[in-house]
């Protein structure tokens, strides 16, 4: 579904896109060879590898093979390092989408208590850095955090990205907080939901993103933005 939505977004933006699909038993060398070809192509400006990869593939090696000027997911070490110092070409699409949502909602991050639940390289860590660059006071929580409820309840801005359906409940949220749900899960009935129990939390939160229809579309919009920027580099 996510890949198809990316392709539709490219069509909408009049961006040419190509999809390369491999068997799950594909050899690492075949992926590296394709990336080398795409890096060299003057007609391709953005490259992304849909994660996760099969277990026999070295994910880090594959990501590192992408040219930093075509790394529209901003996953390569060079681009991650640029984000750390606040001097970047590209931002990871989901954290960038979250920041755009905050900005367009008229919410000022400066001086706010910001809590990010989840420490992945794709969302949690870069999200914390972007909130920090916007002058928020940032805490990162994870599976080893003690007294998680006490920490999340301090948050003026709470971003959740852990992949556990409806994990964050109303008693874990400060009244009036901005709650941004990055999760994409299935509930006990098989329905699409997020990491936040939307129905219970919406009565407490000052603002909250739904799943689906919240962060997801913003992630794809930021991918389009990165691709257009890459074409201009």
Active site residues: 6, 50, 73
79 upstream amide cis, omega within 30 of 0: no
| CA 168 – CA 102 distance, rounded (Å) | 20
Classified as helix, coil or strand, 201 is helix
| CA 127 – CA 112 distance, rounded (Å) | 15
Question: What is the torsion angle, in degrees rounded to the nearest 10, for the CA atoms of residue 165, residue 1, residue 100 and residue 81?
Answer: 90
| CA 108 – CA 95 distance, rounded (Å) | 16
CA angle 203/204/206 to nearest 5° reads: 100
Contact 155, 115 (CB under 8 A): yes
Show the DSSP H helices in 66-143 as ranges: 77-85, 93-104, 124-133
The length of the chain, given as a count of residues: 233
| CA 49 – CA 58 distance, rounded (Å) | 12
b/e burial code for range 162-185 (CB count within 10 A of at least 16 → b) = beebbbbeeebbbeebbbbbbbbb
């Amino acid at each position: 579904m996510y890949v198809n939505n990316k392709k539709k977004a490219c069509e909408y933006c009049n961006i040419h896109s190509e999809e390369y699909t491999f068997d799950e038993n594909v050899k690492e060398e075949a992926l590296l060879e394709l990336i080398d070809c795409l890096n060299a192509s003057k007609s391709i400006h953005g490259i992304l590898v849909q994660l996760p990869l099969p277990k026999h593939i070295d994910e880090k090696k594959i990501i590192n093979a992408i040219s930093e000027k075509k790394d529209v997911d901003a996953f390569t070490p060079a681009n991650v390092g640029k984000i750390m110092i606040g001097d970047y070409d590209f931002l990871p699409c989901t954290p960038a989408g979250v920041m755009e949502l905050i900005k367009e909602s008229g919410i000022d991050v400066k001086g706010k208590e910001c809590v990010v639940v989840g420490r992945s390289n794709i969302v949690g860590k870069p999200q914390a850095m972007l909130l920090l660059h916007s002058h928020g006071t940032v805490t990162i929580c994870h599976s080893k955090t003690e007294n998680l409820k006490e920490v999340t309840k301090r948050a003026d801005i709470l971003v959740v990205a852990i992949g556990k359906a409806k994990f964050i409940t109303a008693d874990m949220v400060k009244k009036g907080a901005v709650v941004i749900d990055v999760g994409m899960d299935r509930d006990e009935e098989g329905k699409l939901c997020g990491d936040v129990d939307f129905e219970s939390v919406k009565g407490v939160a000052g603002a909250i993103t739904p799943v689906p229809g919240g962060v997801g579309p913003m992630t794809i919009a930021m991918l389009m933005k990165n691709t257009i920027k890459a074409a201009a580099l």
